[in-house]
Amino acid sequence: MQFLLLAPVIVPGLAVTLGIQVFFVRYHLSDSFLGVILVQLMPTVPYAAIILGAAFANLDIDYERQARALGAGPLRVLLFVTVPLLRPAITVATLLTFLISWSEYVLTLLIGGGQVKTLPLLLFAAIGSSDTTSAAALAVLVIAPPLLLVLAASRLLTGRSGSAVGFGRL
């Protein structure tokens, strides 16, 4: 099971995508926004699964028992205890999957078929047509958000103490 989860990272993404494309065409998912979202799960989910899996394995479920005993129902335990306890891992997983997805080129091109335009696609098109002005502008657009996000996240994760990570808000 764990191996299956990690398989997309081990097997070259291009090989898998070429196979997937056949099915996506059959189910009218290629050249569509939904198709691109689905195919981008492939390189991202393994990382999210590894990070969150480790966090869940280390989660002490006695915290949840204690919260129940203090009058929190199952939903509120999840909201006010479990998620805050997992917040560092969720932050890291979100960041990492965003970075992977943000710079994804090959999968988007193959499944999106040029119909779904993401920034990397536009950037490559601009470079290909020697439109250096657009390319420069797009390059800044591609680089800036991940850079800012990583900065913000590293701030959050290395706050004064480990407990500061969860913001301490109910």
Partner 1 sequence: MTGTPITLTGVHKSFGDAIAVRDLTADIPAGSFTALLGPSGCGKSSTLAMIGGLLEPDSGDICFDGQSQLGVPADRRPAGLVFQKPLLFPHLNVEQNVAFGLRMRRLDRRHIRTKVDSILDRVQLTALARRGVGELSGGQEQRVALARALVLEPQVLLLDEPFSQLDATLRAEMRCLVKALYSESGVTTVFVTHDQAEAVEVADTIALMLRGHLEGQGEPEMFYTAPPSLAAARFFGVTNELPGTVRGGIFTADTAELRRPTTLPDGPAVLVVRPETISLATPSGDDDILSGVAVAARFAGSHVAVDVRLAGDSSVTVHAPVTTSVALGARLAVGVPRSAGTVLAAT
Binding letters toward partner 1, positions 87-106, x by CB under 8 A:
x-------------------
Q: Compute φ and ψ for 101, nearest 5 degrees.
A: -65, -40
Q: Does 157 bind partner 1 (CB under 8 A)?
A: no
Centre a 10 Å sphere on the Cβ of residue 33 and count the other Cβ atoms it contains. 11
Least distance in Å: CB of 22 to partner 1?
A: 47
Q: Does 162 bind partner 1 (CB under 8 A)?
A: yes
- Confirm if 134 and 69 have CB atoms less than 8 A apart: no
What value does the CA radius of gyration of the chain take, rounded to a whole number of Å? 20
Q: Does 4 bind partner 1 (CB under 8 A)?
A: no
Interface with partner 1 (CB under 8 A), residue from 19, 70, 130, 140: 70
| Cα 15 to Cα 17: distance, rounded to the nearest angstrom | 6
Report the residue number, 15 or 70, with the smaller CB distance to partner 1.
70
Closest Cα to residue 150, out of 75, 77, 79, 96? 96
Least distance in Å: CB of 62 to partner 1?
A: 6
- Confirm if 73 and 82 have CB atoms less than 8 A apart: no
Give Cβ neighbours of residue 113 (< 8 Å, ≥ 6 apart): 30, 31
Q: Does 63 bind partner 1 (CB under 8 A)?
A: yes
> By CB under 8 A, which span of 26-34, 72-80, 115-123, 142-150 interacts with partner 1?
72-80
Binding site for partner 1 (CB under 8 A): 60, 62-63, 65-73, 76, 80-81, 84-85, 87, 161-168, 170
